[in-house]
Structure 1
Amino acid sequence: MEYLDFELPIKELEDQLDKCQIIGQESDVDVTNTCKQIEKKLEETKKKIYKNLTAWQRVQLSRHPNRPYTLDYIKALCGDTFLELFGDRNFKDDKAMVGGLGKIGGQSFMIIGQQKGHNTKTRQYRNFGMASPEGYRKALRLMKMAEKFGIPVVSFIDTPGAYPGMEAEERGQGEAIARNILEMIRLKTPIIAVIVGEGASGGALGIGVGDRVYMLENTWYSVISPESCSSILWKSWDYKEQAAEALKLTSEDMKKQKLVDDVVPEPLGGAHYDRETAYKTTEQYILKAWNELKDLSTDKLVMQRMDKYSKMGEFKE
């Protein structure tokens, strides 16, 4: 397990607990009470740290290398029923964007999402979860297929942003994202979006329009990352923590501003501490949303979605 800087007190206590248990196993010394005291202190320390996280600390948790990614959720929720589909039928297959058909709780869904890598090799293979235009066009192709056959869509969002390379811009990155937003607004099938990690900029919006949009507790959703905001406003990354607070990018902030529908609670310490619980809770929210949307007529579904997004934001005329 890797630890973030603010998690070091937890690491120290867990190391003490491990040593205490080893002493008990390798000698005749009774260390039961000592281990219980350390366990109690460890639990108290975890609660104190994770119940008072700053915005920047939540950003750090959303990027934790042990955190489950899109394909981890798909494997856990769909099992062997997932059939991955490839290509945008225009240029090539983008490995940063995955998608296909799968069953969650016995219901068929078209599932799409950004995928990061677990090590250096797979991170390069997946382009660090930064999709190119062909990735968004693949996602749109799959969503239109789902619309044709009346299959609901689930999107898992986890990206530091759309790929900003020159070749992506040459192939129409901005147009691809804008096209997805337009088509998702009027897609004639239910869309359930779940932010499972980072939700950065247009890269997230490109698959983020939904009838229900959920955020896991330790995720963020913003037009810009704290580091980029800091570098623009202060010409340095040193103010990233201040930028994270100002951007109001946490799940709690997003719900308060009515930009997402609900927050999916995570196990103490984050989704990576207890993956099975995180998967089960996420599945419950997806199926709850599906049960709320499945009986709506197509016209009412699209109209409600349009109304939802047209009401976002505050302004004066």
Structure 2
Amino acid sequence: MPVMWTFSSSSQSLLKRCLDVAAPAEADNKWVKKFKRKEEISVENETKKDENNKNNVVEVFDSDLESRESEKQENSTSDSYEELLENLDTEIELKFDFLQEKCLAYPDFITKLPEKLSTSAIEKICKLLFEKSDVDKQFLDMFYQKFFPTLLKRDNSWFSLDLLVKAEIAHPVAFGKLLPMLLKDIEIPNKVLQEFYQILNEGKKATFMKKIVETDLTAEEFEHNLFTIHTAYKNCIKNMQTQKSIQNLLVKYSERCSSDKNYGKLLLSFLQEQKNMVTKDIEKLEKAVEMHKTPFKKPCLNVLKEIIEKCMNNN
């Protein structure tokens, strides 16, 4: 069996120099193959190391450049915001177009207005918004969808409620887009919509109920607005669509709201109305009533019994 000779690591560099000055290497020579391969690997490693160093330098440069650009943009935004706020309290009529321009360029400005401006300035801005006929459409939508939710989270006084009422009158289409947002925003105190609903006339109360039916409410959103939903439901003209939507909500969130009295009130009102209609999914309604835990459970059971008897007689 042939013996494979090896060289100590200290001798390998000397051997390589000897090979370099020797006659042209034979391609099949095992020593040439061994050292040539090591050289190739060494060159590859050095190349990769250089490339990694270059990439690291580029990444550091790009990161630094991005940071400086971000800082520059923040400073520019801050300067523009200060420019916008300057004398806005006293010169809003002259600066309204400027306000639109800046808010369109920097949409976050609108959410800062309720926080930074005085009540007097906010009132003046809204008055111009409600009265002017040439307000930019994009600015108008932005104002309704960003300004009002922010304002109502920070100030739910009669002042804000009054602005909400005027907003609905001035721009019913834009307000129609806002109402579902208010229903879905649980950070807005629920008394805001409760009080707003009470101010509406009968026609607008019907529209309000329609928006509730059309809005896809999560469990948390439904629970947050239960009092308002029950109030609106009691006063509306019921139809099959309304009944179906309310039943779906009652069944869907029965477990979560099993100890909520407002849920119990809504469930009882629904069942009393359902006595005069055709009831589907009666088993799901039975389950919702059975798991309920407030004093409204017993009257709900009594009405449900009437509904079941009516269904049996019709069959």
> Fold-level match, TM-score > 0.5?
no
The structure having more radius of gyration, on CA atoms, is: 2
Structure ranking higher in strand proportion: 1
**TM-score (norm: length of structure 2):** 0.24
- Judging by fraction of residues, say which structure has more helix: 2
Larger RCO: 1 or 2 (CA < 8 Å, sep 6+): 1
